[in-house]
A and B are shown apart, each in its own frame.
Chain A
C-alpha cells in the first residue's frame, strides 16, 4: 500500500483546502477512499451520525500535479482510511503561501497521512512544516460498508434556492425550533416551515425549477399532480450544517425528496460533487 501526492498550483491548493474545510464542517470522522483517479470522502448512515450520510467525490487530476496510489492488492487497487478531516483542515491552514504541499501515507508509530508543506524562505534551503495526521486503515472485508448510495426513488426533485438566503432563514429558524419541514412540488415551489406552540414561520420560494432526470428515476414523478407537495420533517441542525459548510456557491444545487422518508441533497461544483442524505424524523 503506497500513496504519495503533490500540489504545486496555488489555485488548486486553495480549492482543495476549501473542499476539506467543507467536509470538516459536515463530519467529525469520515472515510477517505483513494483510487487511481479519484478521492472520496464518505460518511455512512450510522446511528451515531443521526442517520445522515455523505458522499463527496473529487477527480484527483483537477487538484494534484503528482498522484501515485498503489492499493492493498492488484485486483483491489484502492485504499480506505478512517480520518478526522478537521486535522487535515488544520494542517492545510499552514499552507496558505506554500510553494508545494506533499501528502503521503506513512507509518510513524501508527499509520499517518503526512502533510509536508514547503514554505517560501529567504535562504536557499526551503522551510518545511510537517504534520502527521493519524489515520485508521480500513480492512478490505469492510469495504462493502462504503458503497455509493443510490439515488432514492424520489417524489419531487427541485433546484435549491440561493444558498445564502436559505442559510439565513434556516439559521433564524434554528433559534425557534429543533425540526423543520422541507416541502416542494413539481411547479418549482419550495417551502421551509417550522411550527411550535409559540410561533409558526413559513418561507415560500417560487420559480426554482425542477431538474429533468433521465427515465428510471422519474417513475414516481410522472403521474404526479404538479401542485402537490412532497414533504419531510428533518433535524434543523443537520440542514444548517450542510448550508453553513458551503464556502463557495455550487454550480448546481438540488434536492430530491422522498415524502416522509429522506431528503437527498446534491451540490455540484466544477471539480467536486457532494451528496448529503438527511433522514426524516419519525
Chain B
C-alpha cells in the first residue's frame, strides 16, 4: 500500500474514472447495506461500478450501481479496479451528516487517476465543499460464484419487505437456516431448528409477495444462520 503522501497529484484529463451524482445518498445508502466488513473491492466498467465485500471466502455481497444512475460517468480504461476501506469511504460520503433538511442534498464528484493514486471525492452542500483523498490498495481476487444462468434450477423473486420481516423473526437459537424451494407444496419454505423446536415459514407461490416463481425441482439446502443477519443491514 502506498502511503498517502507519496501518491502523486495530476491534472484533470488524466482521470481513469470520473463519476458525479447530484445526490450522494443514492450511493451511500446502497454501500451501507453491504458494509459488514471494512474492506471492499471496487470494479468499474462503462456499465457502472460494482462494489464487493467478502467475509472469510465464504460470503460475498455485491452492490452494483449502473452508469445511468450517475449524472456524469466516464471510465477511460476497459476496467478500473482497486481496494478501499469501506468504513472510511462511507464516513467521507456522509461527511455532511445523514439527516439533511428537505430540499437540500449533497453533490458528489468522484475521481480516480489509476493504480497507485488515492480516490478523490469532492462533496458539496449549501456552498460548503469537502475534499477527501482516500488511499487505495492492491485489488485482491474476489470469489466468483459462477452464477451461470443456464444451470439455474429454481428461481424466486420476492418483494424484499416480506422477506426482511421473515428474516427478522427467525429463531436465532438455530444453527442453520434451511431453505426449501419446490414446484409443489410448500413451494418456498424457511425452516429453523432451535432450542424451542422447529419452525417453518411458508410462502405460497401465488402470494402477493411473489414477483416471480420458477421452480423445476425440489431442493433443500442449509446455510449458517448468521449469514441471514447480514442481509438485514440497511
Contacts and interface: CB of A to CB of B under 8 A. Distances in A.
Check if A and B associate.
yes
B209 interface: no
Interface string B114-156: 0000000000011111111111000000000000000000000
Contact of A199 (B94, B125, B126, B135): B135
A198 B134 contact: yes
Contact of A169 (B3, B127, B130): B130
Contact of B126 (A165, A172, A176, A197): A165
B197 interface: no
B211 interface: no
Given A197-B3, A200-B4, A169 B134 contact: no
A262 to B, nearest CB: 25
B88 interface: yes
B4 A204 contact: no
B92 A199 contact: yes
Nearest to A174: B91
B11 interface: no
Interface string A200-220: 111111110000000000000
Contacts of A164: 97
Nearest first, the 10 closest Cβ-Cβ pairs linking A and B are A168-B97, A203-B130, A201-B132, A199-B134, A172-B95, A175-B91, A200-B133, A204-B129, A172-B91, A202-B131
A86 interface: no
Nearest to A168: B97
B62 interface: no
A226 to B, nearest CB: 20
B128 A172 contact: no
Contacts of A175: 87, 91
B178 interface: no
Contacts of B133: 199-201
Contacts of B96: 165, 168-169
A171 B97 contact: yes
B85 interface: yes
A204 to B, nearest CB: 5
Nearest to A161: B128
Contact of A206 (B91, B92, B127): B127
26 contacts: A165-B126, A165-B128, A168-B97, A169-B95, A172-B91, A172-B94, A173-B95, A176-B91, A195-B4, A197-B3, A197-B4, A197-B135, A198-B85, A198-B135, A199-B92, A199-B133, A200-B132, A201-B92, A201-B132, A203-B95, A203-B129, A203-B130, A204-B128, A204-B130, A204-B131, A207-B127
A46 B97 CA distance: 33
B182 to A, nearest CB: 47
A171 B130 CA distance: 14
Given A197-B4, A199-B133, A176 B88 contact: yes
Given A165-B126, A165-B128, A206-B127, A201 B135 contact: no
Nearest to B89: A199
Contacts of A198: 4, 85, 88, 134-135
Contacts of B132: 199-201
A201 B131 contact: yes
A168 B95 contact: yes
Contacts of B127: 206-207
A201 B130 contact: yes
A198 B234 CA distance: 26
Nearest to A167: B97
A84 to B, nearest CB: 31
Contacts of A205: 128
A199 B88 contact: yes
Given A168-B95, A198-B4, A203-B130, 14 more contacts: A161-B128, A168-B96, A171-B97, A172-B91, A195-B4, A199-B85, A199-B132, A199-B134, A199-B135, A200-B4, A201-B132, A202-B131, A203-B95, A203-B129
A266 B134 CA distance: 34
A201 B94 CA distance: 12
A75 to B, nearest CB: 52
A150 to B, nearest CB: 33
Contacts of B129: 203-204
A162 B131 CA distance: 19
A201 B118 CA distance: 12
